[in-house]
Amino acid sequence: MLKSVFISSKKHKLSLLISSKEVTALSDFLEITINEKVLILNTNLGIEIYYHSDIDYTNLITHSFLLIASKKGNETTEYRIAPFITFPELKNGLQQMLIRLNAMPLAFNCYSKSIIHQLNKNYEKNNQLIVSLFSVWKEILLLLNLNEQSNQRLKQFEKTLEEFDDKSSVNTILKQLIANATNAMRQN
């Protein structure tokens, strides 16, 4: 089951909470500890940490992040931490975030570009998590379209997700075909 922990700063500053090097270290540590793939999306709005598990690892994730953040002298009280343990919680949390971002055009544009860039970068390693995340986003966008809460930004985000999904599906299929072809060529 897909679970997530969102961490953001209470100070409303538009900068990364931790560096990309620290994200890599956190991701590696969590994957070893949880024994599952972990997807960390690090944007100016905060950090979204996704993982598949039947067990709730919110405390481990939170304390691991706070350990890294404390190196900069930051206190626990400076962050908002929102765990999403069940599918309805995750869906509702992502929907509220998209609706809030929709009211801030510049932030929405920066967020969507950053997310797509990071998904492209992490697709090979975390394709199952990304597929699960895409299904949640598609469900939310479909719901917003049905409720007529959608506008051009949300429709553009949906289109971008579809293009990414199509491209990554084609890449996966091509890689599998190439692997099969080279495997067949090596046989006598």
Whole-number Å distance between alpha carbons of 171 and 161: 15
Separation between Cα atoms, residue 176 and residue 169, nearest integer Å: 11
Range(s) of the domain holding residue 100: 2-186
> How far is residue 132's CA from residue 137's CA, in Å, rounded to a whole number?
9
- pTM, full prediction: 0.80
Q: What is the pLDDT of residues 121-130, one digit of tens each?
A: 887 788 888 8
Domain count, the chain: 1
So what's the pLDDT on residue 174? 46
Residue 11: DSSP 8-state: T
Crossing angle of helices 87-102 and 152-186, in 10° steps, is: 120
Q: What's the pLDDT at 184?
A: 47
Report percent pLDDT > 70 for the chain. Answer: 79
Give the side-chain half-sphere CA count within 13 A for 75. 4
What six digits make up the tokens of 12? Answer: 């409303």
Residue 185 has what pLDDT? 45
Q: What is the mean pLDDT of each run of 10 residues along the chain (188 residues)?
A: 91 80 93 91 92 93 91 78 94 89 82 86 83 84 65 71 65 52 48
Find residue 2's DSSP bridge partners.
52
Total residue length of the chain: 188
